[in-house]
């Protein structure tokens, strides 16, 4: 019975697998700008955090 279920699953799922194989690279390319925006926002926020904590780090260094 299990073998029959595996074959049914293979018959129904192979189109989804092929669809995923073709769509994955397209989706990956479409998401590149959002990744770049995320990297940029993270870098800017880290810069602001560094600027804000700079006086505290400088005073900690004088101890």
Q: What is the pLDDT of residues 3-49, one digit of tens each?
A: 787 677 778 887 877 787 788 899 999 999 999 999 999 999 999 99
What's the CA gap between 36 and 48, in Å, rounded? 18
At residue 52, the pLDDT reads 94
Task: Return all residues near 10 (Cβ < 8 A) that are at least 6 apart.
Answer: none
In the block, tokens 């479409």 appear at: 30
What domain count does the chain have? 1
Is the residue at 47 inside a domain? yes
Of 60, 40, 37, the residue nearest 48 (C-alpha): 40
pLDDT at 63 over 70: no
Rg of the chain in Å (alpha carbons): 25
Is the residue at 7 inside a domain? no
What is the domain range of residue 63?
Answer: 22-63
């Amino acid at each position: 019975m299990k073998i029959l279920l595996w074959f049914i699953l293979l018959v129904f799922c192979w189109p989804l697998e092929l669809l995923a194989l073709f769509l994955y690279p397209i989706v990956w390319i479409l998401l590149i700008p959002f990744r770049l925006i995320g990297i940029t926002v993270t870098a800017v926020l880290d810069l602001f955090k560094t600027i804000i904590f700079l006086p505290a780090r400088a005073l900690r260094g004088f101890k």
